[in-house]
Amino acid sequence: MSRLNEILEFNQKFVEDETYLSYETDKYPNKRMVIVTCMDTRLIELLPKAMNIKNGDAKIIKIAGALITEPYGSVMRSLLVAISLLNAEEVYIVGHHHCGMIGLHTEQIVEALALKGVSRENVDQLEKTEYVDLQNWLTGANSVEEAVKKSISMIQSHPLFPRSIPIHGLAIDPHTGKLDLLVDGQK
Ligand SMILES: [Zn+2]
């Protein structure tokens, strides 16, 4: 059975059994917070458990390295929606130790994509356009602290982001779930 079929079969039973009843909530975050964190698989359940976040408690935006790269991209837009229309009053940027985006360089991604059939010509053409600064865009950060602080500064310097909203920075251990406070946004 393919993964897709497996999911669809599971889902049918999930709904039939009314398993969803224990997850019922609304679209507003009960804890009035929005979290930006990494897409790392180790954090899927660990991060909410380690932060005592239950279904309905927070808006969670997941991106590689918790690194916000664009002031006018979809992550920044999601943050603005969360704080303007969905009652979020605090932002938590949660990077993590041993993140794949730490120390990542453009060439590593480009080489891996080449193995998936992406031609070098496409890469070369993109590098010539003004559309994207490929080297900058595909490069990660040097440390989790740097990644978290970059994202915080991206939000803080945004002209549409209210100054009254605290932005906290944390690093989570993907093994133990321990949180290290990097930036206390209340100060
Ligand atoms: Zn990561």
Q: Domain containing 95 — which CATH number?
A: 3.40.1050.10
Residue 46 shares a structural domain with residue 130: no
* Residue 117: domain span: 105-139
Gap from CA of 42 to ligand 1 centroid (Å): 9
Gap from CA of 16 to ligand 1 centroid (Å): 35
| Residue 98 annotated in ligand binding | no
Q: Would you say residue 95 lies in a domain?
A: yes
Q: Would you say residue 9 lies in a domain?
A: no
| Residue 17 annotated in ligand binding | no
- The count of domains in the chain is 2
Residue 87 shares a structural domain with residue 131: no
Residue 73 shares a structural domain with residue 51: yes
Q: What is the pLDDT of residue 103?
A: 87
User: Three-state SS across the chain?
Assistant: CCHHHHHHHHHHHHHHCCHHHHHCCCCCCCCCEEEEECCCCCHHHHHHHHCCCCCCCEEEEECHHHCCCCCCCHHHHHHHHHHHCCCCCEEEEEEECCCCCECCCHHHHHHHHHHCCCCHHHHHHHHHCCCCCHHHHCCCECCHHHHHHHHHHHHHCCCCCCCCCCEEEEEECCCCCCEEEEECCCC
Residue 54 shares a structural domain with residue 91: yes
Residue 153 shares a structural domain with residue 75: yes
Burial 146-163 (b: 16+ CB within 10 A, else e): ebbbbbbebbeeeeebee
What is the per-residue pLDDT across 128-166, written as a single tens digit (0 to 9) for each? 888 888 888 888 899 999 999 999 999 999 999 999 999
Q: Would you say residue 118 lies in a domain?
A: yes
Gap from CA of 45 to ligand 1 centroid (Å): 14
Gap from CA of 62 to ligand 1 centroid (Å): 10
Q: What is the pLDDT of residue 165?
A: 97
| Residue 158 annotated in ligand binding | no
Residue 96 shares a structural domain with residue 157: yes
| Residue 38 annotated in ligand binding | yes
What is the per-residue pLDDT across 51-102, written as a single tens digit (0 to 9) for each? 999 999 999 999 999 999 999 999 999 999 999 999 999 999 999 999 989 9
